[in-house]
Each structure stands twice: as C-alpha cells, then as structure tokens.
C-alpha cells in the first residue's frame, strides 16, 4: 500500500507539473470560449493527456538539470520534485483557470449526441490503459534494451545520486550505450528514489501512463478539427495499434521505443494542428504559435528519450518549415497566404526551444564514453553513403515486408495510410496531410540511411529493430490516415468540457 | 439522440445474451476445474528445481482463485447489462452506428469509399481484439515463472549460465564489490542484476559492434587477463577479478575447476556436475598484476 501511495505521489507531481506547463504555454486568452473565431480551446482530455506527457518528460529533464548543476538525486530530491510539481500545477491552474462556457456552445441536442459516443469511447480508452498497466506490472523488465540501456543507468543514478557518477563516465564500466539520453533512466530513478529501493516491475508504470497521455492528447487535438465522435474514434485507433499496445515490445515494457512513439505522436499532432489551423478559415496566430511551442517542447523531450528522437525532430522540423515556406509562395484561392513574419517565428520556435533544452544534454554527453556507440553523425559522409548504397537492396524489401506483409502482427496502420491516400488523394495533398506524409517518408529514409552507415551487420541491426523503429512512426501514420478519411470542415470552436 | 436501426439493436441484444451465457460457461468451467491440473501445468512451466516448481504451483493456485472471482464478477456485470437490455442495447447500438458512420462523411456521394473505410475499421478492431486475447494468453503463460516478483528474484530471459554466475557472485562477493571481468560474453545482464556491485569489462574492439547469438553460436573476441596492462587494471581499482569464458578458444587448455568455491556452489545441487565453461573468481591483490 505504501508503494502505491509513493508511486501515486510521484505520478501526481509529474502530472500537475505537466498541466501547469500546458496552461502556461497555452495562456489565459486561449482558454476562453467565445463566439465568432476559433480559440485554442484545450479540451479537458487534452489537458489531462498533456499533463502526463509533458510532466513525465519535464520531471526527468528538470532532475537532469538539477544534477548537472551539482544537486543530489535521491528521495529528498524526488519528494521535493513531486510536491513542487503539485504546487506549481495548482498555482498555475488557480491563476489562469478557465471561465465557465458562454452561449457560443453548440445546441444541447448536438452536444449530447456527440458526447455520448465520445464519453463511451473515453471509457474504453481508460479500460485499455488499465489493461496496459496490469500487463506492464505482471512482468519484470526482461528485454535487452530496457535492462542494458536504461534500467542499468537508472539503478546507478539511484545508487550514486548523480548523473556525474564516475562509473557512467568510465569506458570499461559495463553499460549499454553510455551516451543514450536519460529521460527514461531518470524517470525510473525518480520512482526508485520515492520507493527507497529498486523494483523494475513497479518502475514500468511510467510507460502505460505516457500511452494514456498520448491518446488523450491526440483526442483533444483531433477535437479541434473533427466532430467529437470521430475525434475519439481516432484516439481509439491510435490506442489499439498492436505493436504499441499490447505487444510485448510496446508500452508494457521498459524500452524507449514506445515512449518515443508517444512523444513523437504528440509532436506530430501539434505540428499538424498548427498547419490545419493556419490554413483553415478559422485560423489564428495565437493558436498556431501555442501548437508550435508545445510541438517544439515535446520534440526536445523526444530527443532526450532516445537518439532516434534527434532524427525524428530534425526531419519533422525541416519538413514543417519547407511546407510553411511553400505554402507562403503558392497562390491558391483556398489557402490563406500567411505573412513571412509568422514563418520566421515558427522557424525560431522550432530551432531555439530544442537548442535551449538539448544544449546542456549535448554538452554533458560529450563527457560520456563512446564504447559501443554507433556514432551515426560521426560516420555520416558522402563516401559512407555511397559505399552503403548496396544495403538498400536488402533493407528496402525488408521494410516493405515489415510494414505490409507482417501487418497482422504489427498493425494495419501502413495499409491504412495507403488506403487513405488512394481513397482521398486530393485530401492527402493538403498542406497538413502533406506534412505528415513527407515526414513519414523522411523518417523511413533516415532508417535506411542508418542501415547504410552503421558498423553492425545489416540484417541483424535493421532486421532486429525495424519493427520497433516503425512503432515510433505508427501514431503519426495513423494520424495521417485517419485525418485523410475522417476530414471534416471545422465549423465551430470545441465546447468546454 | 438519433435512433439506430432496429436490426442492429436486435443484434446487440443477441450479442449480449451470447456474451453473458459464454461468460457463465467460462465461470462454471473455472469453478469446476480441479486446482491440481493448474498446479501441475504451472510446475511443468517453471524452472527445473523444486523451489521454483512449488512456488509456481502455489502462485497459480492463488491465481485460479482470483480468476474465478474476477470471472464471476464479470459475468454478473454482463448479466446485469443483458437484463437491462431495453436501455443498454439501444445505447450500445447507437455507439456502434455512430462509430460506423464516423469513418466517412454521411453525405459522401462516393459510396464505395465509405464501404472501404468501414470495412477497414472492422478489420482494425477485430485485429485489436485478437491481439488483446493473445496478450492475455501470454500473461497466463508467463505467470508461473514471473508471478509478482521483481527481476532480481526471477532473473528473466537470460541464459542458465548467466543466471548461475550471477547467483554465485551474489554469494561470493560483498554488495559494494568492484569486479573486473574478462569474458567472451556480453555482460549487460550480469552488470544489471549484480548492482550495486560494479562490473568492469574492457571491451575488445572486434566485439564492440557484434550482436551475440544464443548458445555461443557466434564467438566474440575478448581480452585475456595477461593482455591487460597492470596500469589498466590498477586504474579500475577492482576488488575481484573474474574470468568467465564459454567459448572453446578461451576454455581449451584451461583448468575449468580452478575456482573451488564455484565448483562447490554448482555441486550443491548436482554432485556429479562437471564444468563446461570457465568461471574463476579471485580477490585482487592490488599489485597491478594478475
């Protein structure tokens, strides 16, 4: 019982921290509902979801910053962070709480009809979350990555109370990927510190909670663009991607692929939301910027979770800026020509926020050993790419088979993408959809590139990890496919709920 | 609230009836099933020692009791929903109809797009249900082995040799020991489960990016103790030095029984045990030389 209370305290602190951050980013103006013109009306589900997503990641990052500055990790630190998160969240909520809804809300009949289905699907999502949580708690950590790369560091951080532990910097200390980011390790360490002991079953509670956060966040984002029942149906589809839940390598284990999938899914949702709002007749700048800030923040946390997050962030930020630039130069009667100042601000947000957040991590990382590190960026060169080109003859068919031939094992999301583009080709060429499509292509190209330059046997490297990499892209793929099929002209602000 | 088709509501009512009768059958089967059958199955799944078998059998018997009550509660809930069919069936069919129509705009003039989208939705949800069922069966399969223990107790998903070495080192070394390991194995799991002990393993450059295969199907390169300079050893300040080699290039011409404590540990369970691989632990004298 004590363990449950302590873990509950830890999660509550993280959640309140995340909610406080979300409200602080979105701002008081954007929480009002008003007649005429859209506002960034953040649904309750979205706020709850963002609370978990931002909270878990930010808590780990703040503990990293604390330790980097010389502070000690441990039970005292974790208790302070938990209590501090609760105080911060409550304070921001009280200062910026939303006013009650006004008469701009749609008619009661329409509201009731949409909400019955939405609420039932929300209950289903909570049931899926509980199912994932039970599954996670029924097994200890048992896979290679979760123990060798993240769990091991978590225990060392718990025992040595610092990211500057001499053993973490020792090249001969037995640890996998010494330079891997610390989001998961610090998150697990936080729970160990609260519990006062290592229990690698209980530390897995973080992963289903991140999953719930992602699903609720995506539901909220979709609610701004789709009718309620469709938005929640989209969230149910995201929640039931087999490779994500309940596959053993998904959210029920302690590996980093599922958290990256959750974070990347949220980041892509907000970038998609920014573009969809920007190009809608109800778009406004404040909404656009708030979505960008959240996306940039989550992108930074994704890179702080696993190195693939760096590549995902680079790809989707680049594609976003290209899409924005193209949209500003193309004349179309259906699209609003934004001004270049907005594009510049978007670029600055997408570059500066990750630079500020990740800068200290990259500086610290240089002190860590290179033992067993792939060092992709160090190996990247024209000659390496040229020499690795023949690997495509194996890796492209392999990936295609993984995505389409093994769909009953890993999920139908890739068939869903193809089908949605085939059924609704014009929708797929809209700027928000094109952004998702090009991002997914860029991410897959990045995997092929990694296979070309990695110093590991290709079939074992890509063959043994492609399903997990594709898991990281699955929420984005589903968002693309579902929004293509279920696209609906936004006609109103979402109601307060 | 718009009304779903009457045929759908009837189908939902029939589905609820089938559902609760199926649950009732499962509940009766769970209550009638002899505990001994479950205990024998669990003992067969557990590791090959008496302690593990007894633990697995007891845990599975407890799990069966829990399952009986959980299934009974579920059946009661389903029965209540079926009893309240007048209200519950229209609501459920309304949700199904709404989700069905959500897949495309209801005013979509191209009907085959709506049909394709909805069929896809059905396939997706059926696949999801299949995976949930497969996941439940995996957890039932794993239960006798894992129960509710943490990883350090169960030592899951590692080779028997690794498991033995971990348990031996847990006995033979203090919890704050620093152990220099010379090995042709990847030692991540040893390092993970032996914490707070710290393991140091100079990685041979030819093994750095090699993915090991089960049962030594791929021999990794490794440093022998004599290949390490005294300065390198001294820099790590080990309390113990462990030689742990499984590959034939490293075990031939070596006395595999040189560590008498290791041999004694293994022969506690099997008097006739003969070493097939080298495990030799000794205290480090601190002189920088092996």
Q: Per-residue pLDDT tens for A21-79?
A: 998 888 765 555 444 444 455 778 898 999 999 999 999 999 999 999 999 999 999 99
Alpha-helical segments (H) within A138-182: 144-145, 152-160
Residue A23: count other Cβ atoms within 10 Å of its Cβ.
23
Contact A486 B132 (CB under 8 A): no
Question: For residues A493 and A104, is the Cβ–Cβ distance under 8 A?
Answer: yes
Task: Tell me what pLDDT residue A332 has.
Answer: 53
- Each residue of A189-213: b (16+ CB within 10 Å) or e? bbbbbbbeebbbbbbbbbbbbbbbb
Average pLDDT over every residue of A317-345: 75
CA distance B254 to chain A (A): 25
HSE at residue B236, side-chain half, CA atoms within 13 A, is: 27
- With contacts defined as CB-CB under 8 Å, which chain B residues touch A116? 1, 91, 94-95, 98
pLDDT-derived band at A104 (thresholds 50, 70, 90) equals very low
Mutate to test the interface with A, among B60, B154, B195, B205 (most CBs of A within 10 A): B195
Average pLDDT over every residue of A467-488: 92
Asked if pLDDT for residue A475 goes beyond 80, the answer is yes
Distance of CA B141 to the CA centre of its chain: 10
Directed axis angle between helix A431-453 and helix A458-486, to 10°?
Answer: 180
Asked if pLDDT for residue B54 goes beyond 60, the answer is yes
Closest-CA residue to A481 (of A233, A142, A125):
A233
Measured between alpha carbons, how far is A120 from A118 in angstroms, rounded to an integer?
6
Instruction: Record the tokens describing residue A306, joined without a space.
Output: 């696993």
Measured between alpha carbons, how far is A165 from B189 in angstroms, rounded to an integer?
20
Task: Tell me what pLDDT residue A338 has.
Answer: 55
Measured between alpha carbons, how far is B2 from B94 in angstroms, rounded to an integer?
8
Containing B179, the helix (H) or strand (E) segment is strand B178-183
Task: Tell me what pLDDT residue B2 has.
Answer: 56
Contact B150 A411 (CB under 8 A): no
Instruction: Tabulate helix, strand, coil % of chain B (nearest 5).
Output: 60, 5, 30
Measured between alpha carbons, how far is A283 from A303 in angstroms, rounded to an integer?
29
Q: Which residues pair with B242 in a beta bridge?
A: B181, B281
Task: Tell me what pLDDT residue A406 has.
Answer: 94
- With contacts defined as CB-CB under 8 Å, which chain B residues touch A198? 150, 152, 195
* pLDDT 10s digits, A216-269: 999 999 988 888 888 999 999 999 999 999 999 999 999 999 999 999 999 999
Contact A138 B104 (CB under 8 A): no
Measured between alpha carbons, how far is B256 from B112 in angstroms, rounded to an integer?
72
A256 phi/psi in degrees, rounded to 5: -85, -10
Distance of CA B279 to the CA centre of its chain: 27
HSE at residue B56, side-chain half, CA atoms within 13 A, is: 25
Q: B270 and chain A: CB distance < 8 Å anywhere?
A: no
Burial label, B214 (beta-carbon count in 10 A; 0-12, 13-18, 19+): exposed
- Using CB atoms, pick whichever of A121, A174, A227 lies closest to residue B188: A174
Alpha-helical segments (H) within A138-256: 144-145, 152-160, 183-195, 206-223, 228-239
Measured between alpha carbons, how far is A233 from B120 in angstroms, rounded to an integer?
13
- Using CB atoms, pick whichever of B128, B148, B202 lies closest to residue A172: B202
- Using CB atoms, pick whichever of A198, A237, A371 lies closest to residue B124: A237
Measured between alpha carbons, how far is B155 from B153 in angstroms, rounded to an integer?
6
Closest-CA residue to A342 (of A433, A277, A297):
A277
Task: Tell me what pLDDT residue A110 has.
Answer: 45
SS3 (DSSP) at A253: coil
Q: Report which DSSP code applies to A403.
A: I
Task: Tell me what pLDDT residue A107 has.
Answer: 39
For the question of whether the overall pTM of this predicted structure is more than 0.80, the answer is yes
B192 phi/psi in degrees, rounded to 5: -65, -45
* pLDDT 10s digits, A402-441: 999 999 999 999 999 999 999 889 889 999 999 999 999 9
Measured between alpha carbons, how far is A57 from A298 in angstroms, rounded to an integer?
8
Q: Report which DSSP code applies to B55.
A: H
- With contacts defined as CB-CB under 8 Å, which chain A residues touch B146? 138-140
Asked if pLDDT for residue A172 goes beyond 90, the answer is yes
Mean pLDDT for chain A overall:
87
Average pLDDT over every residue of A141-169: 95
- Using CB atoms, pick whichever of A229, A246, A460 lies closest to residue B131: A246
Q: Higher model confidence: residue B215 or residue B188?
A: B188
Q: Higher model confidence: residue A99 or residue A476?
A: A476
Task: Tell me what pLDDT residue B79 has.
Answer: 82
- With contacts defined as CB-CB under 8 Å, which chain A residues touch B94? 116-117
Residue A264: count other Cβ atoms within 10 Å of its Cβ.
28
Question: For residues A279 and A327, is the Cβ–Cβ distance under 8 A?
Answer: yes
- With contacts defined as CB-CB under 8 Å, which chain B residues touch A173? 191, 198-200
Measured between alpha carbons, how far is A326 from A341 in angstroms, rounded to an integer?
14
Measured between alpha carbons, how far is A476 from A271 in angstroms, rounded to an integer?
11
- Using CB atoms, pick whichever of B105, B117, B200 lies closest to residue A173: B200
- With contacts defined as CB-CB under 8 Å, which chain A residues touch B95? 116-117, 120-121
Sign of the Cα torsion A192, A196, A200, A201 reads negative
Burial label, B11 (beta-carbon count in 10 A; 0-12, 13-18, 19+): middle
Alpha-helical segments (H) within B105-238: 111-146, 151-154, 160-172, 188-194, 230-236
Task: Tell me what pLDDT residue A399 has.
Answer: 93
- With contacts defined as CB-CB under 8 Å, which chain B residues touch A491? none
Burial label, B100 (beta-carbon count in 10 A; 0-12, 13-18, 19+): middle
Residues 123 through 162 of chain B touching chain A, CB cutoff 8 Å: 123-125, 127-128, 131-132, 135, 138-139, 142-143, 146, 148-152, 154, 156-157
Contact B124 A240 (CB under 8 A): yes
Sheet holding B178-183, edge to edge: B198-200, B178-183, B240-245, B278-283
- With contacts defined as CB-CB under 8 Å, which chain B residues touch A147? 151, 188-189, 192
Q: From residue B205, how far is each of A302, B212, B222, B229, B248 by CA, in Å? A: 31, 14, 9, 16, 20
Q: B96 and chain A: CB distance < 8 Å anywhere?
A: no
Cis peptide before B196 (omega within 30 of 0): yes
Q: B187 and chain A: CB distance < 8 Å anywhere?
A: yes
Lowest model confidence (mean pLDDT) among A463-467, B30-34, B40-44: B40-44
Measured between alpha carbons, how far is A158 from A241 in angstroms, rounded to an integer?
34
Question: For residues B275 and B263, is the Cβ–Cβ distance under 8 A?
Answer: yes
Contact B142 A140 (CB under 8 A): no
Instruction: Tabulate helix, strand, coil % of chain A (nearest 5).
Output: 75, 0, 25
CA distance B209 to chain A (A): 5
- With contacts defined as CB-CB under 8 Å, which chain B residues touch A416? 120, 124
Measured between alpha carbons, how far is A319 from A437 in angstroms, rounded to an integer?
10
- With contacts defined as CB-CB under 8 Å, which chain B residues touch A155? 192, 195-196
Task: Tell me what pLDDT residue A109 has.
Answer: 42
Mutate to test the interface with A, among B4, B101, B102, B235 (most CBs of A within 10 A): B102
Task: Tell me what pLDDT residue A97 has.
Answer: 64
Task: Tell me what pLDDT residue A108 has.
Answer: 40
């Amino acid at each position: 019982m004590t363990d449950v209370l302590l873990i509950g305290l830890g999660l509550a602190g993280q959640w309140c921290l995340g909610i406080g951050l979300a409200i602080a980013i979105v701002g008081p103006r954007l929480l009002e509902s008003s007649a005429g013109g859209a506002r960034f009306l953040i649904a309750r589900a979205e706020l709850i979801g963002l609370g978990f997503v931002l909270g878990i990641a930010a808590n780990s990052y703040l503990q990293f910053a604390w330790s980097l500055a010389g502070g000690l990790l441990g039970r005292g630190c974790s208790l302070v962070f938990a209590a501090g998160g609760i105080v911060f969240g409550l304070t921001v909520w009280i200062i910026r709480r939303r006013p009650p809804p006004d008469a701009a809300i749609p008619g009661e009949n329409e509201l009731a009809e949409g909400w019955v289905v939405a609420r039932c699907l929300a209950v289903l999502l909570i049931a899926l979350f509980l199912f994932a949580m039970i599954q996670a708690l029924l097994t200890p950590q048992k896979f290679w990555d979760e123990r060798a790369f993240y769990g091991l560091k978590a225990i060392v951080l718990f025992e040595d109370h610092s990211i500057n532990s001499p053993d973490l910097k020792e090249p001969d200390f037995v640890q996998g990927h010494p330079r891997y980011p610390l989001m998961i390790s610090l998150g697990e360490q936080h729970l160990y510190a609260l519990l006062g002991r290592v229990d690698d079953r209980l530390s897995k509670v973080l992963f289903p909670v991140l999953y719930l956060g992602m699903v609720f966040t995506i539901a909220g984002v979709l609610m701004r663009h789709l009718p309620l029942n469709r938005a929640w149906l989209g969230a149910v589809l995201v929640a039931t991607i087999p490779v994500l839940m309940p596959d053993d390598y998904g959210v029920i284990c302690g590996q980093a692929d599922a958290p990256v999938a959750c974070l990347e899914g949220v980041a892509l949702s907000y970038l998609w939301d920014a573009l969809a709002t920007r190009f809608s007749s109800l778009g406004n700048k404040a909404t656009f910027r708030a979505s960008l800030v959240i996306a940039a923040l989550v992108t930074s946390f994704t890179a702080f979770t696993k190195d693939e997050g760096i590549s995902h962030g680079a790809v989707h930020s680049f594609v976003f800026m290209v899409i924005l630039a193209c949209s500003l130069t193309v004349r179309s009667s259906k699209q609003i020509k934004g001004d270049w100042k907005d594009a510049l601000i978007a670029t600055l947000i997408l570059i500066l926020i990750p630079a500020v957040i990740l800068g200290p991590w990259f500086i610290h990382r240089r002190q860590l050993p290179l033992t067993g590190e792939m060092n992709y960026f160090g190996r990247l060169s024209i000659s390496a790419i040229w020499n690795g080109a023949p690997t495509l003859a194996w890796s492209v068919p392999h990936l295609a088979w993984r995505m389409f031939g093994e769909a009953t094992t890993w999920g139908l999301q890739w068939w869903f993408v193809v089908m949605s583009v085939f059924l609704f080709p014009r929708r797929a060429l809209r700027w928000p959809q094109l952004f998702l499509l090009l991002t997914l292509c860029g991410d897959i190209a990045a995997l092929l590139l990694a296979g070309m330059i990695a110093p590991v046997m290709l079939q074992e490297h890509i063959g043994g990890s492609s399903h997990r990499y594709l898991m990281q892209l699955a929420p984005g793929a589903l968002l693309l496919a579902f929004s293509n099929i279920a696209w609906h002209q936004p006609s109103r602000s979402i109601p307060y709920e | 609230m718009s009304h779903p088709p009457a045929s759908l509501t009837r189908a939902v009512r029939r589905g609820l009836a089938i559902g609760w009768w199926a649950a009732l059958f499962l509940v009766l089967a769970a209550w009638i099933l002899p505990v001994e059958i479950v205990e024998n199955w669990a003992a067969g799944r557990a590791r090959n020692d008496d302690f593990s078998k007894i633990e697995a059998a007891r845990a599975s018997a407890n799990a069966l009791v829990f399952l009986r009550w959980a299934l009974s509660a579920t059946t009661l809930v389903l029965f209540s929903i079926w009893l309240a069919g007048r209200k519950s069936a229209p609501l459920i069919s309304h949700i199904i109809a709404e989700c069905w129509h959500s897949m495309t705009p209801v005013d979509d003039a191209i009907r085959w797009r709506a049909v394709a989208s909805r069929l896809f939705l059905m396939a997706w949800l059926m696949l999801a249900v299949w995976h949930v069922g497969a996941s439940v069966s995996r957890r039932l399969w794993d239960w006798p082995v894992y129960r509710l223990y943490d990883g350090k107790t169960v030592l899951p998903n590692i080779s028997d040799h690794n498991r033995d070495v971990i348990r031996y080192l847990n006995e033979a070394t203090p919890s704050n020991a620093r152990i220099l390991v010379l090995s042709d194995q990847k030692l991540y799991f040893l390092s993970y489960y032996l914490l707070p002990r710290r393991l140091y393993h100079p990685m041979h450059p030819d093994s750095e990016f090699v993915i090991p295969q089960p049962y030594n199907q791929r021999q990794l390169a490794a440093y022998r103790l004599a290949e390490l300079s005294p300065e390198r050893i001294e820099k790590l300040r080990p309390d113990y030095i462990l030689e742990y080699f499984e590959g034939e290039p490293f075990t031939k011409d070596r006395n595999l029984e040189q560590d008498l404590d290791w041999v004694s540990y293994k022969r506690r369970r099997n008097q006739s045990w003969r070493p097939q691989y080298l495990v030799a632990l000794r205290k480090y004298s601190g002189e920088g030389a092996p």
